[in-house]
Amino acid sequence: MKSFVMLAALLASAFAQGINIGSPTEGSTISPGDLTVQINRPNFISQAEEVAVVIAISPCNGPDGACSDPINGLGWSVLYNGPYDPQYPANPRPQDQPQENFTVNIPDYLAGKSQLSVLHVSLIGLDNTPFLEVVNTTLNVQ
């Protein structure tokens, strides 16, 4: 029973370290060209060292327009690959969280339902435990 409780605590801790895509929001319609992607990192108690993010986009061309699982591949176009250093916005409100904006270029050849994915890598805790996650949002490119 102790093992189960410990595993549950570790999983809860890991999910608390996660990021989310603040913008664009799920179901947004975007156009080819420049797009600002906001990546938020909610506050958490543990020490964390951000390593990097990768932002990618891929058409949802599976059966019936299904998007592929990003854990199997991020997509056709890597839009950004580099450091992630979230900061509080200037004049933060109580509900604000650390975030970073990235301006990426949506390719001209992309149209229709697409999936924007963000791979996030960080080191957590005093022992620098590796943490890896992929989050995504579905968009319509017109």
Q: What is the C-alpha R_g of the chain?
A: 17
Span 22-50, mean pLDDT? Answer: 93
Residues in the chain: 142
- Rounded to two decimals, what is the model's pTM? 0.85
Domain coordinates in residue numbering, the chain: 2-141
CA 126/CA 30 separation, integer angstroms: 41
Tell me the CATH architecture of domain 2-141: Sandwich (2.60)
**Mean pLDDT, the chain, as a whole number?**
88
**Which one-letter amino acid corresponds to residue 35?**
L
Q: What is the pLDDT of residue 2?
A: 52
pLDDT one-digit tens code per residue, 44-65: 777 889 999 999 999 998 888 8
